[in-house]
Amino acid sequence: TGFVVDKERGLILTNRHITGVGPVRATAIFDRHEELEVEVVYRDPIHDFGFFRYDPSRLRLTSAAEIVLDPAGLTVGSEIRVVGNDAGEKLQILSGTIARVDRNVPEFNSVYNDENTFYAGAGAGTSGGSSGSPVLIASGRAVALNAAGTDGAASSFFLPLHRVCYSLEKLRHGLPVPRGTCMAAFLFKAFDELIKVGLQRRHEEEVRAVFADATGMLIVDSVLCEQKVLRPGDILLRLESQVCINFVQLEERLDANVGSCLAVLVSRGGLEMELQVPIVDLHALIPRSYAELGLDVVHGLGYHAARRAHLPLDSGIYLARPGYIFESLNCDWGSLIISAAGKPTPNLDAFVKAIEDIPDRQYFPVLWYDLRDFRRDRQMKTGFAKMSRAWSPLRIWHCKKGAGDGPECWESMDMPLPSSLPRIPEPPGRAAMLTGGDKLVRSLQASLVTVRFRTDQRFVTEASDTGASEGVGLLVDAERGLILTDRHSAPQSLGDIEVTLAGSATVDGEVFFIHPLHNLAFIRVDPAALAVLHKGKVPLQSARIAKGAKASIRAGEDLHFVGFDNQGNTFSAEVKVAAVYLPSGKDEFPAWTVPRFRERNLEIVVLADTPEDARGGVLCDASGQVRAFFGQFDWQGARHGEETTEAFGIPANVFSPLIEALRKTPTIQPEVPSLDIEVAAVDVATLTRGAAGSLPRDWLQAVLRRCGQQGQVARAMRVSRVLATGASEAKLKAGDVLLSVAGKTIASALDIE
């Protein structure tokens, strides 16, 4: 919520956590549902308030009006109304009674927290959407600004308007809003509490002589590391020779003395001490520039994060939004990056210097702390991040205006791309090859690869919710670096692919082709990296794919599994084929609740004894000839909607035509003709009972003969779904049995293709 406080200048008051602290695009919806764009003109560096500005001349239907601010009207016992967008209802009116006006700031488990002000409290029961609402008294004046509430309780917290009025007056005159800080946060404590930490009774009497109704004083709660004069526990006795017991008086002196020193008298451990405390520009301690790279956003540490973690302001760079680069380290928001590429990063300029020459796709070391749990865990973390300049260039943003100079204006500057190419490590060659294992492992290790895919979570189209996956691939053309894998390992082309070949070298690749119907994809290794591997004599070998009758698999066959476990180790095991069937009916792969690939029209190979902990690999005969690719299939579980992954075999006769097509025309993606239907398997015995005499005898004999040769029950293909706007719309219907296509008898889903 926001409300107009100056109808002539178009100023809207709201919370700081609504205006945000970076570039903002915002729209205000007025009483008559008119929408106008608004701009940020001021946001307080500490207190939870800020101002938007709109163009009053553009209001057509809504009458110009403003709410008068009355800080002095905030008193205990006042009946109030909180008017605003509570719970997203656009206009709600909540009632309450001011219970107290001297509450210390509410503590929230976040980086930002208000300080050096009182808050008022009432049982108004405000919830989400009420942030920025005016707290009105009977006269219609606003006495406070709604700022927060307590989950599960009716307690609401209101910000007094003293600094709001001070800032508004400056804005009306087109002046900057000076804000000073002694880099210390104070709390209000009762006299009896302060006596326990050294306050003397005569100090209390001196205060009561000036403020007869006084109940306590201000004490330093925390200080920034840069504050070398004040200490936590110091009780504020006098400020510039004046008794100071409230935040309004304190902030008036701080704001009026930016850049100079204040004479402060404190009680420290029972002893009076006169101090000269420097007053710093508070606006200068709030980051007003940031860097954007690979969807990551970083800026200087800033006042609030430094205070919360009790770290110097030049400790490092704050990761405000993790993107493609730092998410690879599991480096989340709230992390403090202290070193990149072996260079310290105390501030934004140092960070830019450290990374500006790192080539795209080059790994570099990073040192960081996790500030979100810094009070408990202060262990430094290390890792390697991968540079990515494809998502966005290295862009530096600066805030040029604001407050007295008009609306904020954020300007960006793109840094030039580095001229150097990523360094490709020298491969270890045969030295890294597995020397143990059985004959099959040694013969296929040069063809088996591991695949790692990653994309930014905001650009997930077919990948898992995390945007990352790992799997197995098969090198089918060593000269061109062509790799067969599944859609679990290479779910979409928008992302980053890394391939580890022969267990000895990791290189970049690209998703070249994704099968539109089946769980298959082809990856192409970066040609420059492939040349280095060949030069380094890395033993790359194209897999031998079964052809002819061996390209299909029968139930009951004894085969060999060769692949990887979940730790990345290569192993082999003897396996038996339990079934080769088309999942149909209750066994079909279920549809996702979001648009995402689902396997269909594919006879999968199911093993009777799938090796435990097998991530993926191939099914081969005793000579090492690949009979099937053993890939990972993803689908959505029925109970809780969680993602389920399980490995099944894909016979060689499904993907071998694609391999041949890519070998003939390696730069052209193969065509995949389709009838745009889904089919299900139905037993011929059941079908003949329901359609007695209507099925051609020749077709029945052909299907029985074909299925018998495969060692399975005779089944027919029945249409289960017809894709709207597809090739078969208005031609085929659900329930149709496919007897033949182009004059060829249909006994399996593969026959259709």
CATH number at residue 104: 2.40.10.120
SS3 per-residue string spanning 256-286: HCCCCEEEEEEEECCEEEEEEEECEEHHHHC
Cβ neighbours for 317, distance < 8 A, ≥ 6 positions apart: 298, 299, 300, 301, 336, 337, 338, 345, 347, 348, 351
Consecutive H or E run containing 384: strand 381-386
Q: pTM of this prediction? A: 0.86
Same-domain status, 9 and 144:
yes
Cβ neighbours for 483, distance < 8 A, ≥ 6 positions apart: 449, 451, 473, 474, 475, 476, 499, 509, 522, 523, 524, 525
Quick one: residue 427, left, alpha or beta (phi over 0 = left, psi -120 to 50 = alpha)? beta
- The answer to whether the beta carbons of residues 266 and 273 sit under 8 Å apart is yes
Same-domain status, 151 and 44:
yes
For residue 494, what is the domain's CATH number? Answer: 2.40.10.10
Consecutive H or E run containing 630: strand 626-636
Q: How many helices and strands in the chain, by DSSP H and E?
A: 13, 45
Give a yes or no: residue 330 inside a domain. Answer: yes
Where is the domain boundary, 172, 192, 215? 172
- The answer to whether the beta carbons of residues 651 and 628 sit under 8 Å apart is yes
Give a yes or no: residue 684 inside a domain. Answer: yes
Same-domain status, 231 and 292:
no
SS3 per-residue string spanning 489-532: CCCCCCCEEEEEECCCEEEEEEEEEECCCCCCEEEEECHHHHHH
Same-domain status, 63 and 156:
yes
In sequence order, what are the beta bridge partners of 6?
Answer: 11
Same-domain status, 157 and 197:
no
Same-domain status, 142 and 193:
no
User: What pLDDT score was predicted for residue 340?
Assistant: 96
Strand pairing category for 317-321 and 335-340: antiparallel
Length of the chain: 753
Show the CA angle centred on residue 12, arms to residues 8 and 13, nearest 5°: 130
User: What pLDDT score was predicted for residue 457?
Assistant: 85
User: What pLDDT score was predicted for residue 403?
Assistant: 61
How far apart are the C-alpha atoms of 406 and 399, rounded to whole Å?
12
User: What pLDDT score was predicted for residue 238?
Assistant: 95
Give a yes or no: residue 672 inside a domain. Answer: no
Same-domain status, 393 and 507:
no
Distances in Å between the Cα of 190 and the Cα atoms of 36, 103, 204, 217 are 47, 11, 10, 7
Give a yes or no: residue 540 inside a domain. Answer: no
- The answer to whether the beta carbons of residues 418 and 394 sit under 8 Å apart is no
For residue 394, what is the domain's CATH number? Answer: 2.30.42.10
Give a yes or no: residue 616 inside a domain. Answer: yes
Same-domain status, 20 and 146:
yes
Mean pLDDT by 10 residues, the chain (753 residues): 96 94 92 93 95 95 94 96 88 93 87 92 89 96 93 90 97 94 96 94 94 95 95 96 94 96 95 96 95 94 93 95 89 94 96 94 94 87 92 92 76 88 64 64 91 91 90 94 96 93 86 96 88 81 93 92 90 93 90 90 94 92 95 86 90 95 91 94 83 76 80 86 93 92 90 91
Which pair of structure tokens corresponds to residue 164? Answer: 């709001």
Give a yes or no: residue 409 inside a domain. Answer: no
Same-domain status, 272 and 291:
no
Instruction: Report the chain's C-alpha Rg in angstroms.
Output: 35
Q: Domain tally for the chain?
A: 6
Same-domain status, 649 and 569:
yes
How far apart are the C-alpha atoms of 675 and 740, rounded to whole Å?
13
How far apart are the C-alpha atoms of 216 and 237, rounded to whole Å?
11
User: What pLDDT score was predicted for residue 730?
Assistant: 92
Give a yes or no: residue 414 inside a domain. Answer: no
Same-domain status, 98 and 143:
yes
Where is the domain boundary, 505, 535, 565? 535
User: What pLDDT score was predicted for residue 405?
Assistant: 64
Print the domain residue range for 312.
Answer: 287-399
Give a yes or no: residue 412 inside a domain. Answer: no
Instruction: For helices 162-172 and 247-256, give the axis angle rounded to 10 degrees.
Output: 30
Spatial CA neighbour of 313 closest among 227, 250, 244? 227
Same-domain status, 265 and 209:
yes
Where is the domain boundary, 109, 144, 172? 172
